[in-house]
Amino acid sequence: EAQVTQNPRYLITVTGKKLTVTCSQNMNHEYMSWYRQDPGLGLRQIYYSMNVEVTDKGDVPEGYKVSRKEKRNFPLILESPSPNQTSLYFCASSFLAGALTDTQYFGPGTRLTVL
């Protein structure tokens, strides 16, 4: 089954404790992206990757890191989480980002709480 998986689905942590949220897709997609979603603000892009070893900042990259060492995986790293990073995070993938008729597939989401 074609899908995007994220782990963990729920995470409660404390300020400053490094964490990683994993994202994996099995569709051989070139493009992967991370978003955060907050009430009233909609989805905001954190980082995206056009291919292996190619990453770029989205609209809200501060406080986050990513890596793309393999095509299928795109982990999101919070080196020193802060309470303002409490949010619902989504990973997504597609063959190309905004290409005509290309559909972006989203993962199930990771709800992160930073105390």
Partner 1 sequence: KNQVEQSPQSLIILEGKNCTLQCNYTVSPFSNLRWYKQDTGRGPVSLTIMTFSENTKSNGRYTATLDADTKQSSLHITASQLSDSASYICVVSSSYNTDKLIFGTGTRLQVFP
Selected binder of partner 1 within 13, 19, 22, 44 (CB under 8 A): 44
Q: Minimum distance from CB of 96 to partner 1 (Å)?
A: 7
**Binding to partner 1 by residue 11, rule CB under 8 A?**
no
**Binding to partner 1 by residue 34, rule CB under 8 A?**
no
For residues 83 and 108, which CB has a smaller minimum distance to partner 1 in the complex? 108
E-strand spans in 1-115?
4-7, 10-13, 19-25, 31-38, 42-51, 54-57, 65-66, 76-78, 87-94, 105-106, 110-114
